[in-house]
């Protein structure tokens, strides 16, 4: 189903963000199926500290006709309420042991957290429907945890009905057993359960931090699980909360359709994350494996050839695959890097990402893999190439010549550098353009 967006809406989105074309691409993608757009998990701390931005971003989605399903947490409020009432509580494997006293407080805390969201939305004229304890049918599987439920069924018909009625469903992490006993559900498990049922295009985690940070506290923009998961999980600097989240996202994405993704962001950055290629937060995809070859089979060479010819819109020379080269190819056959070795440093002969793979972090993933093998690299590109701003960020230095810009990484010796620059400028074209 295609919706028509008013110029006004687009302009509102555009203000300082990105190209209209990019925004329309995402609007169309996200509105193609009413129920499958997104499950949004709202962390408890966000309701406490960032409610205003939260409801603004949700009402904006509503305004452009998108229909998310919201599920909220409330752990921090529950803990402080229990403390205030001097009720003791503890955790087992990250799950809160729920005695009947804890359960009562949980019910009132989650209900009031949920009301904070619905009331604030109401003020913006957005109708929502709270499901305090009637979205999930549960079983108590582990008696050690007390009244903790595992979701065995979801009341999907009422959730869909509320969406059809133009409401935004707001789910609390509580449910009932078949016998009607109230139970507490870990909010991340509830998110997993609802996502498994809906198979959303996006699962969004709204947190205060707004993403996963690296060892220098810089936001990691893209994570491709197939390539990055083990590396990240092995790092001491990734703190345990983040590891836990990543592990859950890994489980989740393994259950969802291949194109689904998870985004971790904060309310203020949600629109930018959703409607631009670059995003603002951490985008996690199952991703693609990047394979490398010293020589290519006939099949592989025709794949490489097709990616290069499509992205450079020309014909590859016959002898392109001769000589001393290394190839990096994504398992989805949509990105390639070709390296050549005739200087002391390595020459990046070709780098191409297919247009429909932009915004997925594939280009960055393949570059990263190639850079791990090569401390010294240089390459060239046409001065009018759109990718140059990315290259400028990625390189250690660059020099502009009339026909080519030359970029390099890791080359410090000036004689060596000028050799590389000369080499790059002198390389004959390996693609013929037909006009």
359 in contact with ligand ARG (CB under 6 A): yes
Q: Which of 191, 261, 269, 381 binds ligand ARG (CB under 6 A)?
A: 261
Q: Which helix (H) or strand (E) holds 202?
A: strand 202-206
Residue that is written with structure tokens 């059809």 in the block: 164
195 vs 282, beta carbon nearer ligand ARG: 282
* CA–CA distance, 329 with 143 (Å, rounded to integer): 50
Q: Using alpha carbons, select from 223, 227, 232, 233 the residue that is nearest to residue 361.
A: 223
CB-CB neighbours of 144 under 10 Å: 9
**Considering only residues 117, 273, 304, 421, which one is a binding residue for ligand ARG as defined by CB under 6 A?**
273
- Region binding ligand ARG by CB under 6 A among candidate stretches 11-19, 73-81, 126-134, 272-280: 272-280
> At its nearest, how many Å lie between ligand ARG and the CB of residue 68?
13
Q: Smaller CB distance to ligand ARG: residue 193 or 204?
A: 204
Question: What are the φ and ψ backbone dihedral angles of 418, each rounded to 5 degrees?
Answer: -70, -30
As measured in angstroms, the least distance from the Cβ of 41 to ligand ARG is 15
Q: Nearer to ligand ARG by C-beta: 27 or 420?
A: 27
Cβ contact 349:428 at 8 Å: no
Helices (H), 339-380: 362-373
- The helix/strand/coil state of 313 is coil
Contact 408, 398 (CB under 8 A): yes
Q: In whole angstroms, how close is the CB of 279 to ligand ARG at the nearest point?
A: 2
Alpha-carbon distance of 106 to 74, in angstroms, equals 9
**Window of 78-86, 182-190, 223-231, 270-278 that interacts with ligand ARG by CB under 6 A:** 270-278
Q: How far is the CB of 406 from ligand ARG (least distance, A)?
A: 28
Q: Return the number of other C-beta atoms located less than 10 Å from residue 304's C-beta.
A: 24
Does 221 help bind ligand ARG (rule: CB under 6 A)? Answer: yes
> What is the DSSP secondary-structure string of 157-207?
HHHHHHHHTTPEEEE-SEEEETT--EEE--HHHHHHHHHHHH--SEEEEE-
Among 128, 186, 222, 224, binds ligand ARG (CB under 6 A): 222
3-state SS, 20-61, equals HHHHHHHHHHHCCCCCCCEEEEECHHHHHHCHHHHHHHHHHH
Crossing angle for the helix pair 240-255 and 225-233, to the nearest 10 degrees: 150
Window contacting ligand ARG (CB under 6 A); options: 74-82, 226-234, 274-282, 337-345: 274-282
Using rule CB under 6 A, residue 283 touches ligand ARG: yes
**137-176 mask for ligand ARG (x: CB under 6 A)?**
----------------------------------------
Cβ pair 267, 56 in contact under 8 A: yes
β-strand partners of 327: 293, 338
Q: Are 56 and 64 in contact (CB under 8 A)?
A: no
Could you tell me which stretch among 36-44, 136-144, 246-254, 281-289 binds ligand ARG (CB under 6 A)? 281-289
Copy the structure tokens of residue 312.
């450079």
Piece of the chain touching ligand ARG by CB under 6 A; list 77-85, 143-151, 268-276, 348-356: 268-276
Q: How far is the CB of 357 from ligand ARG (least distance, A)?
A: 11
Is 26 a binding residue for ligand ARG by CB under 6 A? The answer is yes
Q: Which lies closer to ligand ARG via its Cβ, residue 335 or residue 411? A: 335
Q: Residue from 98, 118, 260, 282 that binds ligand ARG (CB under 6 A)? A: 282
Of the candidates 195, 260, 263, 381, which one interacts with ligand ARG according to CB under 6 A? 263
CB of 264 to ligand ARG, least distance (A): 8
- Supply the minimum distance, in Å, between the C-beta of residue 307 and ligand ARG: 21
Residue 402: phi, psi to the nearest 5?
-60, -45
Is 274 among the residues that bind ligand ARG (CB under 6 A)? yes
Q: Does 276 bind ligand ARG (CB under 6 A)?
A: yes
Of the CA atoms within 13 Å of residue 152, those in its CB half-sphere come to: 11
Residue 23's contacts (CB-CB under 8 Å, 6 or more residues apart) are 10, 13, 14, 17, 275, 276
User: By CB under 6 A, which span of 172-180, 271-279, 346-354, 408-416 interacts with ligand ARG?
Assistant: 271-279
Binding residues (CB under 6 A) for ligand ARG: these are 26, 221-222, 261, 263, 273-274, 276-277, 279, 281-283, 359, 361
């Amino acid at each position: 189903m295609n919706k028509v967006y008013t110029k006004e809406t687009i302009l509102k989105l555009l203000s300082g963000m990105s190209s209209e074309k990019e925004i329309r691409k995402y609007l169309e993608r996200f509105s193609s199926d009413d129920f499958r757009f997104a499950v949004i998990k709202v962390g408890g701390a966000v309701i406490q500290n960032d409610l205003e931005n939260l409801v603004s971003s949700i009402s904006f989605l509503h305004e452009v006709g998108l229909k998310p399903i919201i599920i909220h947490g409330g752990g921090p409020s529950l803990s402080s309420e229990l403390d205030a009432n001097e009720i003791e509580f503890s955790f087992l494997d990250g799950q809160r042991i729920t005695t009947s006293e804890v359960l009562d407080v949980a019910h009132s805390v989650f209900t009031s957290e949920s009301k904070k969201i619905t009331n604030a939305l109401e003020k913006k004229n957005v109708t929502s429907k709270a499901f305090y304890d009637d979205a999930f049918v549960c079983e108590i599987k582990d008696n050690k945890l007390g009244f903790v439920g595992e979701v065995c069924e979801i009341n999907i018909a009422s959730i869909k009905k509320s969406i059809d009625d133009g409401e935004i469903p707001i789910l609390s992490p509580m449910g009932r057993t078949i016998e009607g006993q109230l139970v507490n559900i870990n909010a991340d498990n509830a998110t997993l359960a609802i996502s498994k049922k809906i198979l959303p295009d996006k699962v969004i985690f709204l947190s205060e931090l707004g993403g996963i940070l690296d060892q220098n506290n810089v936001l990691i923009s893209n994570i491709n699980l197939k390539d990055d998961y083990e590396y990240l999980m092995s790092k001491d600097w990734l703190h345990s909360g983040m590891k836990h989240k990543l592990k859950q996202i890994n489980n989740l994405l393994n259950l969802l359709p291949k194109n689904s993704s998870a985004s971790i962001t904060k309310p203020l950055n949600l629109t930018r994350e959703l409607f631009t290629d670059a995003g603002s937060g951490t985008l996690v995809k199952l991703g693609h494996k990047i394979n490398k070859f010293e020589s290519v089979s006939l099949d592989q060479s025709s794949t490489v050839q097709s990616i290069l010819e499509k992205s450079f819109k020309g014909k590859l020379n016959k002898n392109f695959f001769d000589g001393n080269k290394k190839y990096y190819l994504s398992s989805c056959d949509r990105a390639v890097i070709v390296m050549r070795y005739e200087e002391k440093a390595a020459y990046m002969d070709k780098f191409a990402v297919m247009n429909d793979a932009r915004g997925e972090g594939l280009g960055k993933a393949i570059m990263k893999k190639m850079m791990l093998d090569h401390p010294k690299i240089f390459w060239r590109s046409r001065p009018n190439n759109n990718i140059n701003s990315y290259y400028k960020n990625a390189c250690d230095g660059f020099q502009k010549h009339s026909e080519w810009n030359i970029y390099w990484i890791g080359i410090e010796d000036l004689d060596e550098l000028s050799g590389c620059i000369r080499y790059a400028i002198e390389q004959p074209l390996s693609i013929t353009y037909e006009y």
